[in-house]
A = this chain, B = another copy of it.
Amino acid sequence: MTLLTDYGAGSEHVGALHAVVASRAPGVDRIDLAHDLPPGDVRYGATVFARLVPLAPVGVHLAVIDPGVGTTRRAVAIECADGRLLVGPDNGLLRPAADHLGIIRAVELSAAEHLRTVVAPTFHGRDIFAPAAAHLAGDGALTDLGPDVDPRSLVALALPRPEVSAGRITTIVLGADRFGNVELVAGPSDVTGSGIAVGDAVTVQIAATVAMGRVGEVFADIASGGVLVYIDSHRSLAIAIRDGNARDHFDAHAGARVEVSVIDV
């Protein structure tokens, strides 16, 4: 099974999930997909979850980014068409992955015999989601965990669509990685639609910061310190600074407005 959270790498919260799963599903391989995701950023976490799950062996996939813990948001498990089972809060985190894989069935995690004896109102990861995931990883039945949920009622978070015109893409920052490479809400079809092409000189504006850059394919396409606009390894439009840190340079936080425009020559 796999685990993805915003708990922080090496944190005791991640350790608690592993301990609970190891106790209840001994012998099951536990694969950490990501734990350093931005705290509470369900939208970015959902995107990362959707692209990592298909890389992992078919199995149980636990995801917890849960700013609404302790409210009325539901806890759910979703069975997908290829046999994968997704477990987490019903706040949109599981939806992009589930929609991509195809939803067969969903249940609400409410069967007391598959929760920890006492459920803390602020740590459902340990007390609800990990026990449910362990139950499924040990080949327990989905329907043991609680009543069916109408898949159409599962919460979905819409990402805004980029605005695309000739020579211009306007969108937002989705997130950034340790290298400071900034991932945007836009993909190859948006680039094609704008007519922007490899080799073009462009201006890049993120929030209030503007810089000149160039469209390329790899970091080596630009001189050291230069701004690269490229399709990243997840097929997202992205901004990097070679041998530098684009997130810091542009102070690029999630949701910030971005405009990439071809420079007329």
Q: Which residues of A does B touch, CB under 8 Å?
A: 2, 4, 6-16, 18-20, 22-23, 26-27, 29, 31-37, 39-40, 48, 51-52, 55-57, 67-71, 120-123, 126-127, 177-179, 217-220, 230, 232-233, 243
Picked from B18, B36, B127, the residue with its CB within 8 Å of the CB of A32 is: B18
Q: How near does chain B come to A137, taking the closest CB pair, in angstroms?
A: 14
Please give me the residue from chain B that is nearest to A235 by CB atom.
B120
For chain A, what secondary structure do more than half of its interface residues adopt (helix, strand, loop), or is it mixed? loop
Picked from B29, B178, B232, the residue with its CB within 8 Å of the CB of A8 is: B178
- Cβ of A19 and Cβ of B71 under 8 Å apart? no
The distance in angstroms between the C-alpha atoms of A119 and B48, with both chains bound, is 19
Q: How near does chain B come to A10, taking the closest CB pair, in angstroms?
A: 3
- Cβ of B18 and Cβ of A122 under 8 Å apart? no
Please give me the residue from chain B that is nearest to A245 by CB atom.
B39
- Cβ of A120 and Cβ of B232 under 8 Å apart? yes
